[in-house]
Structure 1
Amino acid sequence: MAFKYTYPAAVMMVGVLFGCTSESLQTSEGGSTSSTQSVSTSSKNHAPAIRSVKILPTAVSLDQQISVQADTFDPDADVVTYRYRWRVNGIVVPGETHSSFNAKTLKRGDRLSAEVTPYDGSTEGVPAVADAVVANTAPQVTQFLFEPTEVRVGDRVLLQVTGSDADEDPIDYRFRWWRNNSEVADGDVSELDTNGFAKGDTIVVEVTPSDPTSKGKSKISKPITILNSAPKIISVPPSKIEKGRFVYSVSAKDPDGDQLAYALEVAPPGMKIDKVTGRIEWPLTGKLVGNHKVRVTATDGEQAKAFQEFDLTFSAPVNSSRMTIPKNFRLNTRLVTPFAALVE
């Protein structure tokens, strides 16, 4: 009796997947038997290969992060790591074994190279080398300082600039000044005259550094606003009396053109001042003797104030028509803000 044995399809597939083959053998009785033959397959690791390598940035300078970048292919799709070796002018730099390089050890004109070796966990690939020459590093502006820090009409604004150049080249600066978004000056002058400006105007300056080879990035200041200016009393008290009266027309100027209000802070009894015109009148009587202090003020709408002090000295009764005023009175201009200026 003959028997025929057929492998199920699933079993046949497993055999193929595991490298086995099956064949049917005829028996002497006309039947068939089956046997399995093992086929051995072995896989060999392939080394990774670097397709390209480059140093970044393309133009190497001392003010940027320097690194090396490799594009690698691994035939076995293994994870690839790298070994790095950096050289400067052909000499290996100790301790530089990462993809980034410390630019502090370089100078302009140095020849920098990076050797990159790929490794897939089993086999190292062929190293690849990238080269670059260190170029000029442009200067940069590091700090601004305006003088004075509080600007008023008529001030000369000075901009103190601090800069740096990694190559230690001399630095020149270009200054572009704006008043209310309109350019008013351009050149190498670090000062701006604010005569003709007005309270509330804004000032901005752009500074561009340059060395003998290249320009650096421009830096723009924060806007500064011209503040209110204090008025100034420009008149001098009279040294004579008029028909038994002391009369003094106080005159003050305000740089911003503000309306002023006049007042007496210290005055002898009976002395009065017109708050709009500044005219002082004081009827003199025979009872007045000795020194009498006067302090007159001129104030603008923002309470910026100027004041003037002087003494009236009577060496004899007033009805003798003899009266003297010392010449050593002082003019003092001050603000409600911490700013103050003394004019003798």
Structure 2
Amino acid sequence: MTSLFTSYQLGGLTLPNRMVMAPMTRARAAAGGLATPSMATYYAQRATAGLIVSEGVQPSLIGQSNPGTPGLFTDEQVEAWRPVTAAVHANGGRIFAQLMHGGRVSHPDTTGLQPVGPSAVPAVGDVFTPTGPQPAPMPRALSTTEVPEHARSYARAAQRAVEADFDGVELHGANGYLISQFLSSNANLRTDRYGGPIANRIRFVVEAVAATVEAVGGERTGIRLSPGGTFWGVEESEVRDLYTALLTELAPLGLAYVHLEATAEEATLVALRRAWPGTLVMNPVFPMGAKQTGRDDADHWLGLGADLISFGRAFLANPDLVERLRGGLPLTPVDEATYFQGGDTGFLTYPAHQYAA
């Protein structure tokens, strides 16, 4: 069976192992969506991962979901990211930027703008704002002529990511954010060419991915998906047919990878593995559930045909996760209280394993 610690050729990148650091919101960016020196240290500490996928990065101001998140839509943001990518590369790592448009999962107190979405249907739950959680507001439904502009925003951010020396980008198509909203059968109530039947609901994501591939190349473009996920109140009908159709449309674009979350039953995920002819990154454990991804989960999915395995919280709390799993060493538990509090505690303060003298 394929080992977690064997190398893998991902486009023009040679990954030294098959472990991917999954994208995780950390809310430590400076004002103006600028990356910081602490972020450079954080990612460099984890550069032994085969591939790092950054926290979600907004491709536009209206695409910002949470306060304290970084962007890639201004020259200043590009300059702020360069020390981060340089630090990762200096430590021998590789890093993709995750491009995340929040769509309706946002708030005017965060951006100064009314959130947008495929339809005027609010997200379910409270969204984060600078003054604390508030009920998700009513989004403005995008007009048919506006939709392509938001699809192209991913491509423009991808160009800026390459300018900032990222090795590639991952479009965030999961977890109830804008792409996921278009795929949804209850957040997307449109009657134009972007809504209704499966062929229409996948149109936005295909256009966004195609524009990004045209801008930076397929080998630099991945996408993350959460089949059947119900984050922020989204629902999806005909999950297997929906994602099979989507993967079929994406296959000719020559993407670096598709990154699946374990949000559907295993049989559906295995069927999607078979439907996707390229590299598959698998996140084997339900996102933010009680269980964290471990070695057994990784080996199980490598046996089912995944090429790479992504780890989230385990990488957050164990910057040397590759060596800990290789050596069967104990893992440090994550401190959830420090997820979004800002500062370096719970960000740069997780130590590498200390060997006994």
* TM-score of the pair, normalised by structure 1: 0.20
**Higher helix fraction: Structure 1 or Structure 2?**
2
More strand by share: 1
Higher RCO, Cα 8 Å, sep 6+: 2
Decide which structure has the larger Cα Rg and report it: 1
TM-score where L is the length of structure 2: 0.19
